[in-house]
Amino acid sequence: MILFKHDNTTLKNSKVKHLLNIKSYIMSFAFLTFTLCLLIFSSSNLSASKKGLSLWANSVVPSLFPFFVATELLSQTQMPYWLGKLFNRIMKPLFNIRGEGSFALIMGLISGYPVGAKIATNFRKNNVCSKEECERILSFTNNSGPLFIVGTVGISMFGSSTIGFLLLITHVLSALTVGFIFRFWKKNSSTTYENNAFNNFNKKKIGLSNLGESLSSSISSSISTILVIGGFVVLFSVIISILKVSNFLSILVKTFTPFFNIMNIPASFIAPLITGLFEITNGIASIASINIKAISINIILTSFLLGLGGLSIFFQVFSITSKSDLSIKPYIYGKILHGIFAAIYTFSFIKFFPVFNLNL
């Protein structure tokens, strides 16, 4: 009997090692393929790298970097603690998190990706909230900002502030819906932790004596984060370029065309949608440029991508959360739900509120 158990354990261990080896081979093959593609399509990749770098320097840095610095500075004050005292009666029953989570929600909605994830990770590092609470915060506070939704997407891409505000309203509503659903995330399990919220915020009180030090550390941390984001923007710009030049994107379009036909969605949306799954800015820009009478399709798909975020933002968030013990799963599940609810809410607003029905 003992020998049988021992054999079972050995068999399981060998299977685990075999699976790990297979994953290692797959990753090695994927990276080797990517490297070869960089060489084969070097001309188009160079152009894509420049485009991604330009996008990062001209759009991402000006819009996000000041908010990163402001968030770092506010995190070193008692502001999260005051907001926690003020909103605890709302945050606890609705989202099953401490009131301090309101700071992550507010800054995440104002600033955009990936500020919410950065605050949730900082909360965990400073023992402001338990692991489960920080994972709940992570699931719904990492959102697209109003400047990007209304300004870049609504006004610049669609040429309509009405569309921008519609996308902003449904984006916020779907984020709050996801937060309410995730109040049940690991509800019956709780990590033992020492709540140092008050002490931490007191220790980090900024004054004239340490203002220079606080500014320096906030800028250094923000530069580190913005450089990582820039790397992902350039990398995914190159990946999208490889998919297009290698005709792999065309193969995907042909594969998904029957499915889109069933849903009465023109096949011209497939390529932009796939692009948006990798990097939302390029994907949304392509979707907005498609001219059809039923513009509601453009808006609904854009709303879905804004909620989902895409792989580029996922890896940005993962690079931040990997420095803590937070699981990335609630973020993944949360963003999938966010995209779905955003699309449903946008469809409902267009259908039931005539002011938002912009079909020609």
Cis preceding-peptide flag for 114 (omega within 30 of 0)? yes
User: How much is the pLDDT for 202?
Assistant: 47
Residue in 273, 277, 299, 304 with CA at minimum distance from that of residue 286 = 273
pLDDT of residue 195: 56
Phi then psi dihedrals of residue 43, to 5 deg: -65, -50
Which pLDDT value is given to residue 198?
Answer: 47
CB 237 within 8 A of CB 57: no
Of 112, 107, 55, residue with least CA distance to 232: 55
Whether the pTM exceeds 0.85: the reply is: no
Q: Which are the contacts of 183, defined by CB distance < 8 A and separation ≥ 6? A: 94, 95, 96, 97, 136
pLDDT, residue 175, reads 94
> What does each of the 360 residues of the chain score in pLDDT, given as a tens digit?
455 555 555 655 565 565 556 767 787 888 888 888 888 888 888 888 888 888 788 877 877 788 778 877 877 777 777 888 888 888 888 998 888 888 889 888 887 788 888 888 888 888 888 888 999 999 999 998 888 888 888 888 888 888 999 999 999 999 999 999 998 887 766 555 555 554 554 455 665 566 777 788 888 888 887 888 888 888 888 888 888 888 888 898 889 899 888 888 888 899 999 989 988 888 888 898 888 877 889 999 999 999 998 888 998 899 888 888 889 999 999 999 999 999 999 999 998 887 777 765
pLDDT at residue 188, as a whole number? 65
Q: What would the DSSP string read from start to end of 34-102?
A: HHHHHHHTHHHHHHHHHHHHHHIIIIIHHHHHHHHHHHHHHHTSSHHHHHHHHHHHHHHHHHSS-TTHH
pLDDT at 10: 61
Structural contact between residues 163 and 151, judged by C-beta atoms closer than 8 angstroms = no
CA angle 323, 329, 331 (to 5 degrees): 80
